[in-house]
Amino acid sequence: MIIRPRPHGWQLLYILRGSIVPAVAPKVLAILLLAIAVAAFAEVWHPPGIERVSVAPFTLLGLVLSIFLSFRNNACFERWWEGRKLWGQLVYESRSLARLCTALLADDAPRRTRICRLGIGFAHALAAKLRGRDAVLAALPWVGDEDHARFGARLNAPDQLLAMIAADLAEPLRAGRLDPILYSQFETRLHAMSSIQAGCERILSTPLPFAYTLLLHRCAWMFCVLLPFGLASSLGWATPVVSAVLAYAFFGLDQLGEEMEEPFGLEPNDLPLDALVRTIEIDLLDSLGVAPLPAPLQPHRYLLQ
């Protein structure tokens, strides 16, 4: 995620970090070169009938394309925002789990420490799974030595961590040291964390329909390629400038939608999962009285991951 002050004045013209300019520059350059060639041909050779080419069809096509892009970008932003809400809820549920451990397991410090560390491991494992990394390796430092042998036996590492927390809590429940009503409070937190994992997996495994995305890509290219031919007769040498600006707008919206469609990736505008995991790590270690605490992650060149 890009975190920087809002640009003003001339900064709007030269800021590249966090913008979609590097991603769309080759496409815009291709349209610019095509527009220069079309404008030169129209101005130098004056082919007969060029005055009959009207810009009206391109206006209609541009209007339809902008509406389609708006719908797609709204859908992509909804996926991005839902992912951020799910991780915000995970921060809340992790803090609630730590608070319950502090209040209800105060006389069992080893168990309280183990559960909180497994909660941190769950956040690390979930973030790694969403980003295509090794979830077992990410969570292993937070799993106790007594659990190293059995951890990783299941395919779903984050869910196994929740099962290990539930098993840790079931032992005092069966021994009568934890009231069933109080145990249900822990189970509510674990259920919510499992629901968050399922929500993130749903976003990850269900992209927008490919046919819809392909249609927008084709229409954007068709519009930008044909546009110089419609503008050359009326704008002349100004055709390349107008074509490049419109190509930047349409290709830029398309690229931005692609980045937000997969909110858990490593693109500049994706969610800062590593920073969110570090927040959970700090809060749960703080509840255990650990010192010194790890420092929160800071943006590097305005990029927070």
User: Where along the chain do its domains lie?
Assistant: 20-287
Q: Is the dihedral of CA 16, 22, 23, 28 positive or negative?
A: positive
Up-side HSE of residue 150: CA atoms within 13 Å toward CB? 7
pLDDT at 166: 93
pLDDT at 227: 85
CA separation, residue 94 to residues 102, 158, 222, 255 (Å) = 12, 14, 49, 34
Question: Helix/strand/coil (H, E, C) string of 185-205?
Answer: HHHHHHHHHHHHHHHHHHHHH
pTM comes to 0.88
Using pLDDT thresholds of 50, 70 and 90, give the confidence band for residue 61.
Answer: confident
Q: Is 51 or 136 the better-scoring residue by pLDDT?
A: 136
Please state, rounded to an integer, the average pLDDT across all residues of the chain: 86
Using pLDDT thresholds of 50, 70 and 90, give the confidence band for residue 12.
Answer: low
For 232, the token pair is 């050359």
pLDDT at 2: 72
pLDDT at 7: 66
Q: What is the pLDDT of residues 37-48, one digit of tens each?
A: 888 887 777 665
Mean pLDDT, residues 26-55 taken together: 77
Secondary structure class of 2 (helix, strand, coil): strand
Using pLDDT thresholds of 50, 70 and 90, give the confidence band for residue 225.
Answer: confident
Say how many Å lie between the first and final Cα of the chain, rounded: 6
Mean pLDDT, residues 243-253 taken together: 88
pLDDT at 216: 84
Q: Is 180 or 68 the better-scoring residue by pLDDT?
A: 180
pLDDT at 285: 94
Q: Is the dihedral of CA 85, 87, 92, 93 positive or negative?
A: positive
State how far the Cα of 81 lies from the Cα of 65, in Å rounded to an integer. 24
pLDDT at 147: 76
Using pLDDT thresholds of 50, 70 and 90, give the confidence band for residue 305.
Answer: confident
